[in-house]
Amino acid sequence: MNQRKNRVDAIDRRILSALQKDGRLTYVQLADQVKLSESACLRRVRLLEQDGIIDKYVMLIDQAAIGKPGDVFVRVTLEGQQQAKLQRFEKEIGQVKEVMECYLMSGDSDYLLRIIVSGNEDYLRVHNHLTGIPGVLRVQSSFALKTVLKKTELPLD
């Protein structure tokens, strides 16, 4: 791990907080918000990027607005947990565009996926693909009824 990651100071936290709220801020706007000169602000942002603290800049899209309002949480159990089987599944699941998140889990299933779909028929197509991946033993699906809370900003305190 990079040593700088352990030395994010209060000014860095203000920069990160402002950019998490609006990644399109200009350096002039950002410098004004965090009370730094533009050059000092630019230097700090570049260091945060170089150190991997700022991973990337993205745009968040309303998934319902693009016809994918449904969230399905899927627990996947493999036939075994040998490294080759895990790697094969992870490679395959990376090709399924509807899979937005995939976590290797402890407990009674091996993976937890968050999948976005337009509806039941769309999920059935994805489900059939999942069950066709070599090594998949069981797929258990839960449809989200309502999104109660969804955050994109990491706590910086």
**Could you write out the DSSP letters of every residue in 49-90?**
HHTTSS--------GGGGT--EEEEEEEEES---HHHHHHHH
pLDDT at 1: 45
pLDDT at 119: 96
Residue 88: C-alpha distances to residues 81, 82, 92, 153 (Å): 11, 10, 6, 32
Q: Which domains does the chain have, with CATH numbers?
A: 3-50 (1.10.10.10), 63-143 (3.30.70.920)
Q: Nearest to residue 116, comparing CAs of 146, 151, 78, 71?
A: 71
pLDDT at 157: 83
CB 118 within 8 A of CB 149: no
pLDDT tens track for 67-102 = 999 999 999 999 999 999 999 999 999 999 999 999
Q: In the beta sheet, which residues pair with residue 70? A: 117
pLDDT at 16: 97
Q: Is 130 exposed, middle or buried (0-12, 13-18, 19+ CB in 10 A)?
A: buried
Collect the ranges in the chain with pLDDT lower than 50: 1-2
- For residue 36, the surrounding DSSP H or E stretch is none
Q: Give the rounded distance of the alpha carbon of 122 from its chain centre.
A: 22
In the block, residue with structure tokens 């999920």 = 123
